Structure 1
Amino acid sequence: MPSRRQSIAEDLRRQIAAGHFKAGERLPSEAQLAAHYTVSTPTLRNALALLQGEGLVEKIHGSGNFVRHPRRRTTYTGGRPSAWTTPSAPLKSTVHARHLQARDPLTTLLSVAPGTSLTEILCITHEDRSPHSLSRIYIPRDLMPAGLPTPAEVAAHLTDPRPPLTEVRETACSRLPTQEEASTLRISTSLAVLSITRVAIDTTGRVVEAALLVYPGDRADALFITSHPTEERTPRP
């Protein structure tokens, strides 16, 4: 038998699917919903948390709970030097850069000594006004322009890195977001994210970029293609 929170979530889910609550519309207040379903506020919030985890409802601090617009799906294609993904249509991006000194786990990812000067590039893509994905890219400072790079310089480096790359190692996993990631992306801490760690290596074996990419699971797919060489066979006599 379903619990009370599951029954409430199912009823709200049905009303959203039927269009009773439309995309972008604010749901009744938590107090109103708790009174309507004759449950305590914590039980009502647990029911809403189920819908938030599914990506159906978005809770905006100070404003309430809103029915979410369907998010544009983004396909991440592996093995590329660029931090950008291949969306179905262009997304807007904001880019911020700063200098910092390497500490764990960056020292391990970049194979550098503690205190090595790095440039951190924070990239947040947006769909309309809603955050869509989050990327943190770390590059040895000597490989970037002097001073803080401009967005144009960042884009140029990521599109055509110098020196050229010979290898890109990627690790992908599904996990729950950190509190900071959930706040930045405006998602529930119960919504799984696709987390990708990418390490790029040049012809000398030096790690020239480490990227930490985070995509909410309700709007991301990953595509990896492995090509196998074919050998020409000599016909048998």
Structure 2
Amino acid sequence: MSEGPAFPYQRIRDDLRAEILAGNRAFGEKLPSENALAQRYGTTRPTVRRALALLKAEGLVVTHQGQGVFVRPKPRVRLLISGSNYRTHREAGLPGFDAQVREQGMSPEQRIRDVVTMDPPAEIALRLGLDEDDQVVVRRRTFLVDGSPVALCDSYYPADMVADTAVAQPRRIKGGVHAVIEDATGPIRRQVSHSIEDLVCRMPTGEETAELGLMSGVPVVRVLRTVYDSEDRPLEVQESIAAADSHEFRYEVRMR
């Protein structure tokens, strides 16, 4: 049985969605006015408004009071995870996120939300191999691209490893935390060797939605990365909540 013709609002939504996803409408581009769309499709402004509301719910457009409806800007970060890539950025004295965002012609920023010493969540304690009474130092940061938040990152470290270092201080660290860990003249002096990543897609919590400025219906990717030293001892667990519509992940794994 064939389907009947789509309702006018569905046709408007489908046409605009196809144009946006095909790249025929640039990020940040203003859409035609409600009057113009109503005239084009031979319908009414309330019908057009319904179609635009559906596109907004899908995270494809945003509205600015008194200005109109715009294709939602999406700073998309392509993150390449590989050993050679990591070492190249370390030798340049740059955190991997900052380096890769700059390589893509955008402006990175990491804002520190908090740095505290605390009892670890059970999952973190297990991954770090901690005993029941051990504590962690957690550095909570917001990652931004061109001024827009794209990810929340909480990094956990054994407190007895970093207690008297810059890692436990609420300030930025030149070259990132791994520069402190690998400093041959510092108190830790351990070599970062490899990491294991676990990725899960899910819908965001209300707090995550607010922190990342997510549109309704946009999922997040939870990346749980455990970093090990050259003796296979865990150094760090990073829990990142990344906006799914702002990231592309690529992993290169050398088997030998």
Q: TM-score, normalised by structure 2?
A: 0.65
Root-mean-square deviation (Å): 3.8
Task: Map 1:75-224 onto structure 2 (within 5 A).
Answer: 75-78=79-82, 80=86, 84-85=96-97, 86-87=100-101, 88-89=104-105, 90-99=107-116, 100-114=118-132, 116-144=134-162, 145=165, 148-152=169-173, 155-159=175-179, 161-162=181-182, 163-224=190-251
1:36 aligns with 2:56: no
Alpha-carbon displacement from aligned partner over 1:69-90 (angstroms, at most 9, x marks no partner): 2423322414559873322134
Could you tell me whether the CA contact under 8 Å between 2:9 and 2:47 is conserved in 1?
A: no
The one-letter amino acid paired with 2:72 is R
Superposition deviation, residue 117 in structure 1: 2.1
1:23 aligns with 2:43: no
The one-letter amino acid paired with 1:190 is G
TM-aligned CA distance change 1:167 to 1:71, over 3 Å: closer
The one-letter amino acid paired with 2:28 is A
The one-letter amino acid paired with 1:109 is R
Structure 2 residue runs without a partner (length 5+): 39-43, 183-189
Structure 1 residue runs without a partner (length 5+): 230-237
Q: How many pairs were matched up?
A: 217
* Sequence identity percentage: 19
In terms of fraction of residues, the more helix-rich structure is: 2
- Which position in structure 1 is the counterpart of 2:72? 68
Could you tell me whether the CA contact under 8 Å between 1:169 and 1:199 is conserved in 2?
A: yes
Could you tell me whether the CA contact under 8 Å between 1:8 and 1:47 is conserved in 2?
A: no
Alpha-carbon displacement from aligned partner over 1:18-59 (angstroms, at most 9, x marks no partner): 76x981659989xxx9x7234997x87445312x1xxx2247
